[in-house]
């Protein structure tokens, strides 16, 4: 993290565009001697840094927290309830985070939960606006396939029994599928890959 460009022998390392508070929070999260209770606000800070500096354990911790929060929201667990618009915005945020930080499980779950909602529910959120065109297209095409299969224009759910969202994703076309491949660990221009199946929504 701090040993690039011959800086390891310097007494002070400059981290451009990083605030002191954000770096301290990140270091606490990756320290084995610290326990940091994550919340949505801290995830917004820690997740991008974990991706940038390739801290896979912290990436996994952030993804696990977001997935758990999703299930709490869906299950209307006390203390985790949200109004419909707030709930949809959170799903859109998770879809964006899954895309930007290559979190496969989070991406799929967020996509599954957004598909039943009308575009007007989330198209004006900052998270949807930041989605790459390919992911926007996949979301909308998956919804169209669902509408055709159920003959229902849902807004939160569909009138007929729902099928697995993965089936609709596959029908969009092989050229639009998310790719997974085994590869050696490298990091280049914010693309994180590893010795595992790699989620790359941009390929």
- Residue 161 is encoded by which pair of tokens? 């029994």
- For the chain, what are the domain ranges? 16-192
> pLDDT 10s digit of each residue in the chain, 203 long?
544 454 445 556 677 778 989 999 999 999 888 888 999 999 999 999 999 999 999 999 999 999 999 999 998 777 777 788 999 999 999 999 999 999 999 999 999 999 999 999 999 999 999 999 999 999 999 999 988 888 877 787 765 444 555 555 555 555 555 443 443 433 344 444 444 455 666 56
């Amino acid at each position: 993290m701090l040993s690039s460009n011959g800086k390891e022998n310097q007494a002070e390392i400059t981290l451009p565009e990083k605030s002191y508070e954000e770096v301290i929070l990140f270091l606490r999260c990756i320290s084995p001697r610290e326990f940091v209770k994550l919340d949505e606000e801290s995830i917004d800070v820690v997740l991008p840094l974990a991706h940038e500096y390739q801290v896979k354990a912290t990436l996994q911790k952030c993804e696990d927290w977001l997935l758990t929060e999703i299930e709490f929201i869906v299950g209307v667990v006390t203390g985790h309830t949200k109004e419909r618009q707030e709930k949809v915005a959170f799903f859109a945020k998770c879809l964006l985070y899954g895309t930007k930080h290559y979190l496969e499980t989070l991406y799929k779950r967020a996509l599954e939960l957004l598909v039943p909602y009308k575009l007007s529910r989330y198209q004006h959120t900052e998270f949807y606006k930041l989605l790459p065109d390919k992911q926007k297209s996949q979301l909308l095409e998956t919804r169209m396939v669902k509408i055709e299969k159920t003959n229902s224009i849902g807004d939160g759910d569909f009138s007929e029994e729902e099928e697995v969202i993965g089936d609709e994703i596959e029908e969009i076309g092989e050229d639009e599928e998310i790719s997974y491949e085994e590869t050696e660990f490298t990091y280049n221009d914010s693309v994180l890959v590893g010795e595992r199946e790699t989620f790359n929504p941009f390929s």
